[in-house]
Structure 1
Amino acid sequence: MDVVEKAINILIVEDELLIAKSLAQKLEKLGYQIADIVSSGADAIQRAGELEPDLILMDIVIKGDIDGIETAVIINQELDIPIIYTTAYADDETLQRAEKTGSYGYLLKPFKQRELHATIKIALSKHQEAVKMQQLIALAAAKSENRSRFISMAYHDLNTPLTTIQLSAEMLEDSELQRSSGTTNKNVERIKKAVSNMSELLEDILMLSKAESGKLSLNLNQINATDFCNSILEELQPIVTDKHIVTFRNQTNPVHANLDAKLLHHLLTNLLSNAIKYSPNGGNVSLELSCENQQIILCVRDEGIGMTAEYKGKLFQQFERGANVGKIKGSGLGLCIVKHIVDLHGGTISVESELGKGTTFMVALPFLVSSK
């Protein structure tokens, strides 16, 4: 017997009746169901609560005392429904204001069917991924004998919506609107960044699960640590702002050591990206490489926000974040994974930090082969 997929119900919030009906017709042709059409924020809040649609298309400029963005904030406080904003004018200030509400996308009027379909697919996939991600994080924080197996299953399951988001973003890039409007380009870049962040978080959760279950193993190979450090810094250039000065200091001749290149890549990328991220006002960020007692010493220094003495005691615990990070995003998993990688190599990691003045991480790893 064939399984019939549940049709997606969409609530349209639009105060121009002709636009609303035209949009509804396009959606129905694409196979979606229209839950209702309303023209004000108050009606949108009421109908969203009554109907609990799968998705809301929210015009930013609508009738009533509150606009579409304010309406979305109220709905999000009570209901977990993905909202796509629709607007005729997508200036940066409006988009930034909308983005703070957790928007799942933007559509410019007049609507084009290809872009409409792709944006909805992205929103539904992102919402599906967000729900599962929350479940996965809760599972990672829980204590369970079967946790490792469940996390592995969830990881592979989450890759499906991520792939859908990526493919849909590519559809938007190829659309006529993308070629003629710089605004859509910014939206696509936001989508790609979101996919990248989701993928990184998934990798962190999977790696942490493997480490805690004893399934994270070393694959040691001889590497040129000097060249390796240079390549890491090159990879991080896209996230370096004009306010940062990033430098590499090599205090020895080229160093060759037996290390796990993949894990070392993860370790350095995490420490350096944190140094940049937690230096929102810019400043110097440096990676220093030296040798001592048959170990390579890696120092990552920044002039960022620093950390409190209380947080330093919890630094390598999972899901812990400093009280002074403000709106800087993070999962609280990265340093926990770094500690596991250092331990696997039989090394040590220490930290010096002063609130408001910066942080220095020092990693010492054995397996030194030769210095040429």
Structure 2
Amino acid sequence: MTITIFLVEDEIILARSLSRKLKQLGYQVIGTATSGEDAIKKILEHPPDIILMDIVIQGEMDGIQTTQKLLKSIDIPVIYLTAYADDETLDRAEASGSYGYLLKPPKEREIHATLKMVLKKHKDAESLKKLIQESQNSLDEKSQYLSMTSHDLRNPLTAIQMSSDMLKIFDESWDRQRKLKYFERIQRAITSINGMLDEVSLVSRAESGQLPFLPQPLDVVAFIQEIIVEFEPLSENKHQLQFQYEPISETPVLDKILLRHILANLLINAIKYSPEGGVITLTLQPTSEGIEVQVADHGLGIPKADLPHLFDRHQRASNVSRIAGTGLGLYVSQKAVERHGGTISVESQVGEGSTFSVKLPSCTCLDSSPLLQES
């Protein structure tokens, strides 16, 4: 791609000579101006790759003042043209944010070397600026996530504290059944905390492209039954958890930790967003390529406008803002599904509920590389 240059020079003969030299060197002069006011107008309309700016020009502003005003609106490298090499002029030029200067009349070799150097410096500066911005964005997201997680941790920690206090106070007067109720509350809180900590670990690894992957042959029916038993206390007997399945003839090769996170997250969401007494159904069936697991509820449902972005990082449905959540569970679940070479999708209707479908190949490649390749 040809590098474009805008030339600000009020000496017509020198401007023509410079334009000719630049063309011979393979550059394209896309515009010229003799005053700062005219230069700003033209440059903002059609930005070049580099600006060659004479310091002494026509109009109310000199080249340095013109550069300072330009750089408030646009980031383009500026090289000064000057017949003066005194310290005062060079100090002003350096302080204005330029990338360098050429003494008039410049030679072709000096022009070409300076332009190449300036382009590299500007490219490096842009890369550094992008890296800094990405790092800042990452820090902001991590800070936001830690803030949300610490807030969400308070509820289960409070439940543990209060239940423990009650058990201590009424240890001698309560019967076994009543004590069991508070022990179950503690167990639910611990399960919730463990889930949050697992999510923190998986989010960090997924974002850095280092999600561990250790597939092994898995009795998926027994595995899901164990998860159902584990999550029944979490529903506080307010929801019916049902598991329906068809026989699986071929034992799938899956990562237990990642599969557990996928199913746990879908079950937690179904419990969280379903009304008391609602039925949550987990269905397992074979497919031509492997297995499909569905988690269906009759809860709030997801607005149609939210569906395309539901698996994005920090995205949550617009109708659940009053319910605690980080917006990262589905993001990590999708990464875990993709690590298996599978897909995850959702069908939902507001007020009727949602069905999440996870399709996984039955024979995932037994490559235990820890890296998750991001596209």
TM-score, scaled relative to structure 2: 0.50
Return closer, same or farther for 1:344/1:143 CA change in 2, 3 Å cut-off: farther
Which secondary structure does the structure 2 equivalent of 1:306 belong to? coil
1:283 aligns with 2:278: yes
Higher relative contact order (CA 8 A, sep 6+): 2
1:354 aligns with 2:349: yes
Q: Distance in 2 between matches of 1:165 and 1:313?
A: 36
Letter in 1 for 2:303: T
Tell me what 2:362 maps to: 367
CA RMSD of aligned residues (A): 4.2
Task: Mark the runs of 5 or more structure 2 residues left unpaired by the alignment.
Answer: 1-133, 148-153, 365-375
Aligned residue-pair number: 225
Q: Distance in 2 between matches of 1:304 and 1:227?
A: 27
Task: Mark the runs of 5 or more structure 1 residues left unpaired by the alignment.
Answer: 1-140, 155-160
Tell me what 2:227 maps to: 232
Match for 1:332 among 327, 336, 343?
Answer: 327
Letter in 1 for 2:289: Q
Return closer, same or farther for 1:266/1:324 CA change in 2, 3 Å cut-off: same
Q: Is contact 1:347-1:364 (8 Å) kept?
A: yes
Letter in 2 for 1:301: A
Match for 2:196 among 191, 195, 201?
Answer: 201
Return closer, same or farther for 1:217/1:143 CA change in 2, 3 Å cut-off: farther
Return closer, same or farther for 1:224/1:143 CA change in 2, 3 Å cut-off: farther
Q: Distance in 1 between matches of 2:193 and 2:240?
A: 28
Tell me what 1:264 maps to: 259
Deviation readout 1:161-189 (Å, 9 max, x if unpaired): 9xx99998898577455444799998887
Letter in 1 for 2:320: V
Which secondary structure does the structure 2 equivalent of 1:338 belong to? helix
Q: Distance in 1 between matches of 2:164 and 2:296?
A: 41
Return closer, same or farther for 1:246/1:167 CA change in 2, 3 Å cut-off: closer
CA shift, 1:202, in A, is: 2.7
Match for 2:213 among 204, 210, 218?
Answer: 218
Deviation readout 1:132-178 (Å, 9 max, x if unpaired): xxxxxxxxx97567899999x99xxxxxx9xx999988985774554
Q: Is contact 2:239-2:280 (8 Å) kept?
A: yes
Which secondary structure does the structure 1 equivalent of 2:331 belong to? helix
Q: Distance in 1 between matches of 2:341 and 2:236?
A: 35
1:298 aligns with 2:293: yes
1:344 aligns with 2:339: yes
Q: Sequence identity, in percent?
A: 33
Which secondary structure does the structure 1 equivalent of 2:315 belong to? coil
Q: Is contact 2:219-2:251 (8 Å) kept?
A: yes
Which secondary structure does the structure 2 equivalent of 1:256 belong to? coil
Letter in 2 for 1:221: Q
Q: Is contact 2:160-2:189 (8 Å) kept?
A: no
Return closer, same or farther for 1:294/1:191 CA change in 2, 3 Å cut-off: closer
Return closer, same or farther for 1:326/1:165 CA change in 2, 3 Å cut-off: closer
1:312 aligns with 2:307: yes
TM-score, scaled relative to structure 1: 0.50
Q: Distance in 1 between matches of 2:191 and 2:342?
A: 30
Return closer, same or farther for 1:144/1:179 CA change in 2, 3 Å cut-off: farther
Which secondary structure does the structure 2 equivalent of 1:298 belong to? strand
Q: Is contact 1:271-1:300 (8 Å) kept?
A: yes
Return closer, same or farther for 1:340/1:317 CA change in 2, 3 Å cut-off: same
Q: Distance in 1 between matches of 2:180 and 2:193?
A: 20
Return closer, same or farther for 1:230/1:177 CA change in 2, 3 Å cut-off: closer
Letter in 2 for 1:347: G
Q: Distance in 2 between matches of 1:354 and 1:172?
A: 43
Which secondary structure does the structure 2 equivalent of 1:233 belong to? helix
Return closer, same or farther for 1:165/1:285 CA change in 2, 3 Å cut-off: closer
Structure number with larger C-alpha Rg: 2
Which secondary structure does the structure 2 equivalent of 1:279 belong to? coil
Q: Distance in 2 between matches of 1:236 and 1:285?
A: 12
Deviation readout 1:44-76 (Å, 9 max, x if unpaired): xxxxxxxxxxxxxxxxxxxxxxxxxxxxxxxxx
Letter in 2 for 1:330: G
CA shift, 1:238, in A, is: 0.7
Return closer, same or farther for 1:196/1:169 CA change in 2, 3 Å cut-off: farther
Q: Is contact 1:226-1:255 (8 Å) kept?
A: no
CA shift, 1:195, in A, is: 5.3
Match for 2:241 among 234, 239, 246?
Answer: 246
Q: Distance in 1 between matches of 2:288 and 2:220?
A: 16
Return closer, same or farther for 1:255/1:280 CA change in 2, 3 Å cut-off: farther
